[in-house]
Amino acid sequence: MSALPFRIGFGEDAHRLEAGRPLVLGGVPVPHAELGAVAHSDGDAVLHAVADALLSGLALGDIGQYFPDTAAEWAGMDSRVIVARALELVRERGYAPGNVAVVVTLDRPKLGPLRADIARSVAALLSLPESEVGVSFKTSEGLAPAHVQTRVTALLVRAGEG
Ligand code: C5P
Ligand code: MG
């Protein structure tokens, strides 16, 4: 058991984008995306970073250890399963997510209209109120037009604190 009542986690992910593939972020399909993620799983870069943030907060490694991207059984998998597993590992250690902050860097399309949907979706996966999930969007200013980058911080709160 950790000596700390609160622990911070940080996760990151990136995927190359290609035409003719779906783009899913935070469990939300992005309509009218010209490019989608090249990935072994469903390529949900938000959920991959969320899962890594949860695991890193308790020094539990990263999602590749639990879901190797070479394993045939995980091909095309729904990344919500990955988050559910990371959450289970956090809870087994007596912690729960307090709040999370998500940053998505993507040139196109504009994601502003999906902000509330993504926050709601991530919050539901973590059993948090929507108000505990911050979602920010940035462009790469044209430096990486065929690329999605995500970064997530997560505060983990020990049972009985906060
Ligand atoms: O990266 P930049 O600062 O130019 O982004 C300007 C604004 O555009 C951001 O505040 C963000 O809310 C929005 N944005 C968006 N969807 C993206 C990238 C940025 O809605 N894919
Ligand atoms: Mg990924």
Tens digits of per-residue pLDDT, 58-108?
Answer: 999 999 999 887 777 777 789 999 999 999 999 999 999 999 999 999 999
Per-residue pLDDT averaged across 119-145, rounded? 98
Does the annotation place 41 within a ligand binding site?
A: yes
Other C-beta atoms within 10 Å of 73: how many? 7
Give the model's pLDDT for residue 91: 97
Does the annotation place 48 within a ligand binding site?
A: yes
Tokens 């990263």 -> residue:
62
Residues in the chain: 162
Give the torsion through C-alpha atoms of 154, 155, 158, 162, to 10 deg. Answer: -140
Distance 161 CA to ligand 2 centre (A): 32
Buried b (16+ CB within 10 A) or exposed e, 4-31: eeebebebbbebebeeebebbbbbbebe
